Each structure stands twice: as C-alpha cells, then as structure tokens.
A and B are shown apart, each in its own frame.
Chain A
Amino acid sequence: MKRFIEDFKKHYKYSVYSAKSELKSEIANSHLSWLWWILDPLLFMMVYTFISVIVFRTSEPYFPVFVFIGLSSWKFFEKTVKQSVKLVSSNSSIVSKVYLPKHILIFVKMYANGFKMAVSFILVVIMMFIYRVPLSLNILYIIPIFITLIMFTFGASTIMLHFGVFVEDLSNVINVLLKLVFYMSGIFYSISNRVKEPYGSLLLKLNPMALFLDDLRASMLYCETPHRKLLLFWFLASCLVSAIGIRIIYKYENSYVKVI
C-alpha cells in the first residue's frame, strides 16, 4: 500500500502527461479533431434512441438523456477494461526500456477515458437543461456513484492487465463478455421497468454496471435515492479486488517483460 502511494506520486506527472498526449494523438489527424469527443457519444445516443423508440417502441422519461448517461459511463468502463487486456504488449517499447509500475499504464488510460466521460457528462448537463429535468439534492449522490464506478473499473483492469499478459486470446473472450454485460446493463432500456421480476432486481444486484447506471439515472433524472447499501457493498468489493490486483501486479510484473 505504501509502495503503491509512492509509485503513484512519483509517476503522477508522467501519467497525466501521457494521457494528454494520447488524447492529442487520437485527434491529431482527424478533420473534426476534438469535436469527435462530443460527436461520438452524441451520434451513438441517436442510434440507440432510434432503435429503442422507433423500432422497439419503448421509452422512458427524458429518454435521450437516459441513454446518454448510460452510454457515457459504459464507454469509460468498457474502453478501460478492453485496453487493459493488451496494455503491456501494446506498451512493450516503454516496458522493456524503463521500469514503470505497470498499473501506472492503467491510470493513463483511465485519465484519457475519464476525460472523455467528463466531456460527455457536460453534454448530459446541457441536455438536462434543455429537457427541463427537475433537480433535487439527490443529484449529489452521483459523486459516490462515480467513485465506485472508477474503483470498480480500476479493479477489473488490474486483473485484466495481469492475465492479458499470459493468456493471448483473452481479448477475444473479454470482447464477447463485455458485449454480454453491455446488453445486461440496460444502456438503452430500463432494467427496473422492462425486465420481469425477479430477473430485474437480480440483474441489478449481480451486475454492478447495471446498478451504477440505474442509480446515476435515479439521482440525476428522477430525483430518487440510489441503492446505498448495494453501492457500498460494490465499493468495498472493488477496493478489495483492486488491492488484490495491485498485489498480483507487483508480484509478477518482473516476468511480464520476459513474456513479451
């Protein structure tokens, strides 16, 4: 734990700079450059809204905002986990030249993806104004929900990073798995309203992503209080997983370089 904090402090500047430059290089050659950070979630929101409202004729109050919240936070989780699987081998040029605690690479991805999520959530706030969503103090719950989401993403990523080094086709498995979780998290439908009981509440209890999305919407759009106990449980579980993940990485990072 002490080593973790020291490493974090020592490499903090690098990870922020690296995340910045990653964002920069992502848009370096595109014509619309940073507009893509706005366009990308916006267009996807339209696609899913179209499918649900026109094709499946289902809707929720403030539906576009509803989809947008789900999509933005899902993208953060999905991208970070996906990139973590291949993280060591895609950074082999760095990893084989200098010593770098490998979880710093996860931070880099989390900063970059987190920045994109923040941009999307600014759009969410703007859309909430346009749709005149009533606000209540419950909106403050988004802070603990986001913290839990970030911890959960980090924990999952540390585990993926470790096994991704040794198991070559893990990324294929993870891609399918993430797709499955995507459909089970209620990005473009409401689990509590559309999924029959007892499956609905079961899904909310067992799939943390579904829980986070549901609670984000509850506190931002519908003036409800989130599932506080469940959130606390997942927060503690994520902390535990992160701690285990960090421990594993410290123990085995020596051999990562030798495998690639």
Chain B
Amino acid sequence: MENSRNSNENNIVIDVQDLKIRYRCLNKMSIRKSLLSLKKSKIEIFEAVRGISFQVPKGEIMGIVGKNGSGKSTLLRAIAGVFSPDEGSIDLHGHSVSLLSIGVGFQKKLTGRENIYLSGMLLGFSEEEIDNKIEEIIEFSELGDFINRPVKTYSSGMYSKLAFSITAILETEVILIDEVLSVGDSKFKKKSYKKMQQLITNEDRTVIIVSHNNDTLNKLCNSILWLHEGKIKMQGSPGEVLEAYEEFMS
C-alpha cells in the first residue's frame, strides 16, 4: 500500500502486510457437551481482519474509523501483540507499544499508586523508570488524594483518567488508543487533546486512535484508515476520508 508521505524505509514504525486474523468459533465447551457429541464439532471460522496492508511512518497520528464489528479493535490488539496474526505479518521494528482501552485491568482493591506500578511493569518499564514518572502521572490524572485510595472507590471517569495518564506519560514509542479519548469531564478532555497534540509534536511518537468521534479524529490525526468488514475501504487525509465515511454512514 503506498503511503502519501515520507514513506522511506527507515521512517516506518508499523508495517502491516496482508494481515489476516481469524476467530475460530470452537469457543468454550463443557464436558457434558463433548461427551454427548463425540464427533468433532464443526469449527466455524470467522475472519475479523481480511487481508490488510498499511504502513505508519514515525510521528504520525493515524485514526481508524469503521462501523461496529469492522475489525478495528482486533487490528489494534494484533498490533499490540496480544495475539499474533494468522496470516501476514506485523513488523514494529522493535518499538515498544502499549494499548489503551476502556476498563484497563486494575487490581480493584489496591490503591491507584500501586496500580500505576503494576500497569507500568506490565508495559515493560522498570521500577526506577516508574518512580521517576509517577508524580507526573498522578498530577496529570488529577486524582489528588484519591491516588492513595483503592481503585474500586473510583468513578468510571477517574478510572479512565488514570488509565490514560499512565499510557500518556509512560511514553511507549507506539500508543494505541481504543475509544478512550471521550473520557472524563470537559476539562480533562481538553487536557488529553493537548497531550495528544504534544505527542504529535514529539517526532518520536506514533499514535493510532480508534474512535467514533469524527471531530476528534479530524482535529488530531494526520491520516485516517477506514475499515469496512475487515478490509480497507479508504485511506487518506482526514478531510476526504471522514467526509466519505459520514456520507456512507448516514
């Protein structure tokens, strides 16, 4: 897939080639079921991502749009390495990556501070690196004293604010964002926009955003990828893709 801008080899951070991801609907089975039907049950295969190729250059903020079930989240998870592709390849050229999505796995009985360490370590940071950043994270999250209270006492907005702050401050080179930019009150929203824009100016950071909020995408992104039923329908500048997408959806 050709890329309009500076697509020389060294600058590519994410390189997705002919990616296919299938869900085998063998699902869970119970022992009773497997005893009743000793014959091997038919395995239905559902292909969520059907052959996608694209490249993301360094420093780009790319938006992904598409209706529900078009494979957006699956694609993000595959890039984050949660599961490997069934066919094709994803090459991150050794960059660190983090996936941010609603309801990040916090330990509910632990305090926000402890959860920052846990999430940070899961993302592959050392304790010292988190020590250095933790004040910044707490400040950015606006949680104040709540940071020392168990996460289960948080409101859903605070929860997402904390999750966003951890990923935004603990700078991984590639950040994948799944539907979380619309969290928090309007003040925090503005702040996260600002942070995102700051990330844009940082040439080293590459961001992929999945969102249904076209305004947000229009403001933040350099390019948009439109997925439709597991395939790329359109790719290009935010203006033209979003316009076509809105027309399609209405």
Contact = CB atoms under 8 A, between A and B. Distances in A.
Whether chain B is bound by chain A comes out as: yes
Interface of A: 10, 13-14, 17-18, 21-22, 24-26, 28-29, 91-100, 165-170, 173, 254-255, 257-259
A259 B27 CA distance: 5
Contacts of A168: 28-30
Contact of A98 (B32, B34, B81, B110): B81
Highest count of chain B CB atoms <10 Å: which of A167, A257, A258 = A258
A254 B77 contact: no
Interface stretch (B117-125, B187-195, B210-218, B228-236): B117-125
A96 B77 CA distance: 8
B83 A254 contact: yes
B98 interface: yes
Nearest to B81: A99
B42 interface: no
B47 interface: no
Given A14-B121, A18-B118, A98-B123, A25 B109 contact: yes
Given A21-B118, A22-B107, A254-B84, A98 B99 contact: yes
Interface residues of B, number: 37
Contact of B122 (A26, A100, A254, A255): A100
Nearest to B27: A259
A166 B32 CA distance: 13
A18 B28 CA distance: 28
B30 to A, nearest CB: 5
Interface string B71-101: 0000001001111100000000000001101
Given A99-B80, A255-B24, A258-B83, A167 B122 contact: no
B110 A21 contact: yes
A13 B103 contact: no
A215 to B, nearest CB: 34
Question: Which 8 residue pairs across A and B have the least CB separation, nearest first?
Answer: A93-B105, A25-B109, A99-B81, A14-B121, A94-B105, A168-B28, A169-B30, A28-B109
A173 B105 contact: no
B104 interface: yes
A97 B119 CA distance: 10
Contact of A97 (B26, B30, B84, B104): B104
Highest count of chain B CB atoms <10 Å: which of A13, A99, A167, A255 = A99
Contacts of A24: 110, 114
A76 B123 CA distance: 29
Nearest to B117: A17
B127 interface: yes
19 contacts: A10-B124, A13-B127, A21-B107, A25-B109, A28-B109, A92-B105, A93-B106, A97-B80, A97-B99, A97-B105, A97-B122, A98-B82, A98-B123, A167-B28, A167-B30, A169-B31, A173-B31, A258-B83, A259-B26
Contacts, number: 89
Contacts of B201: none
Interface of chain A, main secondary structure: helix
Nearest to B28: A168
Given A29-B109, A91-B105, A99-B81, A13 B121 contact: yes
Nearest to A98: B122
B126 interface: yes
A207 B34 CA distance: 28
A149 B185 CA distance: 53
Given A24-B110, A95-B82, A166-B29, A17 B104 contact: no
B150 interface: yes
A82 to B, nearest CB: 17
Contacts of A26: 109
A100 B122 CA distance: 8
A254 to B, nearest CB: 5
Nearest to B101: A97
A235 B103 CA distance: 42
Nearest to B22: A258
Contacts of B101: 97
A259 B28 contact: yes
